[in-house]
Structure 1
Amino acid sequence: MPEEKNVFVHESSYVDDGAEIGEGTKIWHFSHVQKGAKIGPGCTLGQNVNVANNVIIGKQVKIQNNVSVYEGVELEDYVFCGPSMVFTNVLNPRSEFPQRGSQFYHKTLVKKSASIGANATIVCGITIGRYAFIGAGSVITKDVPDHALMVGVPARRIGWVCECANRLNFDEKGNASCSKCGKTYYLSENKVTRLS
C-alpha cells in the first residue's frame, strides 16, 4: 500500500514495494502496479488494470478497465486509454523460446494528451503523437503524427483533430479553426501546427 498522501488503492488491488504513485491517484478494483512502475499525480486506473515493471505514466492519465500497460510502454501526461485496449511489447513472441528481459522489449511512447479508443491494439515500437485520436478497434502498426485521427485495421489517418478532440476541417490554404473551441491550426506536409 503506498504511503503518499491522498492516494486511493482499493482493497482488492496490489501495489508492489518499489512502485511510485503520485498524489491524488486512484487505483480501483483488482488492479496490480508492479515494482519499479512510476505513476504521476491525479491518475485514474480502472478495474483490472495491470501496470508492469518500470512503466512510466505521467500526470492525470486515465486508464479504463481491463488494460495492461507492459514494460517498455510510456504514457505522457493526460493520455486516455479506453476500455480493453491493448499494448504489446515484443514483435516476434514465441512461447517455445521465451524472450525475457528489457533488451527484448520494443519501446512504445504515447505522447501528451493522446486518446486511444476501446479495444484498439498498439503494436509495439511506435510513437503516438500529441493529441492524436485512435478510433475504437483500430490496430496501430506505425508511428502516428500529432493531431492525427486514426481508424481501421490496420489503421489509416482519415483526418485531424483539435486539442479538444473535435475534428478539424482544413481549407485549401491549410488553415482550420475548431468549430467547438475556436483554436486555429495550420496544416503543411502532414504536420499540424497550432496557431492560437
Structure 2
Amino acid sequence: MTSETIFIHESAWIDDNVQIGDGSRIWHFVHVQSNAKIGRNCVLGQNVMVGPDVSIGDGCKVQNNVALYKGVTLEEDVFCGPSCVFTNVLTPRAHVERKREFGLTLVRKGATIGANATIVCGNTLGAYCMIAAGAVVTHDVPDHALIAGVPGRQIGWVSRTGERLGEDLICPRTGEAYQEKDGRLLAL
C-alpha cells in the first residue's frame, strides 16, 4: 500500500494487513477487511465490501454495491457487475451461528457476473464464463458457459472476449475457433 500508483478515496476504510497491488483504484465508501489481497490494476467501485482473507486477482473490476465475503476468491480479470451477490452459507438463520460454515466460491480467470446476479456459495465459476444479469447460480459453471435464468441454466457458449458463439463456435470478434467436447468448450 506504499505505492504512489494506488488510489484510495478518502472515504474508503482499509483495515490492517491488507495487500493492494500497483495501479489499483478503490472508490467511495469501500471497506477492505484484514488479510485481504487485491491484485494489480483492480477497480473497486462505490460501496464495495471485501471480507477478511478474500483474494482478488490482477485486473479485476468489482462494480458498486458488491460484498465479497470470506471464502470468495476471484482469479485474474474477473468482472463483477453492480449489486451482484455472493452468499456465504447455504442455510442461514439469524439465531444460528454459522461463521464456521462459510462455503468457498471460486471465480476463475476472465469470468463475468452480470448486475444483480446471485452466486450461491460452494460453487466454482469456470474461466471466461458469463453469468447473465439477474441469474441465480446454484451449481458449478463450465469454462466459457453462458448462464441465464432462475435457477441459472446454460443457454450457450461465449468466447474468451465475451462474444456469444454461434453453431460454428467461431468468435465473431477475433476469429478464434473453439470445439465442444464432452460438455466442455476448448479453444483450438
Question: TM-score if structure 1 supplies the norm length?
Answer: 0.94
Match of 2:178?
A: 185
RMSD of equivalent CA atoms: 0.9
Which residue number in structure 2 is paired with residue 70 of structure 1? 69
Deviation string, structure 1 residues 107-149 (Cα, Å, up to 9, x no partner): 0000000000000000000000000000000000000000000
Read off the aligned partner of 2:129 and give its amino acid letter.
A
SS at match of 2:157: strand
Partner of 1:155: 152
Q: Within 5 Å, which residues of 2 pair with 1:131-142?
A: 131-142=128-139
**Percentage of identical aligned residues:** 53
Quick check: 1:121 aligned with 2:101? Answer: no
**What is the aligned length?**
188
Q: CA offsets, 1:84-129, max 9 Å, x none?
A: 00001111111112222xx311100000000000000000000000
Distance in 1 of aligned mates of 2:10 and 2:187: 44
SS at match of 1:177: coil
The answer to whether the 8 Å contact 1:108/1:126 transfers is yes
Counterpart of 2:23 in structure 1: which amino acid?
A: G
Match of 2:10?
Answer: 11
Rounded to whole Å, the distance in 2 between the matches of 1:4 and 1:184 is 41
After TM superposition, where is structure 1 displaced by more than 3 Å over at least 4 residues in a row? none
TM-score by length of 2: 0.98
Q: Hey, what does 2:25 align to over in structure 1?
A: 26
Secondary structure of 1:159 counterpart: strand
Query: How big is the shift at 1:5?
Result: 3.5
What is the match of residue 98 of structure 2? 99
- Unaligned ranges ≥5, structure 1: none
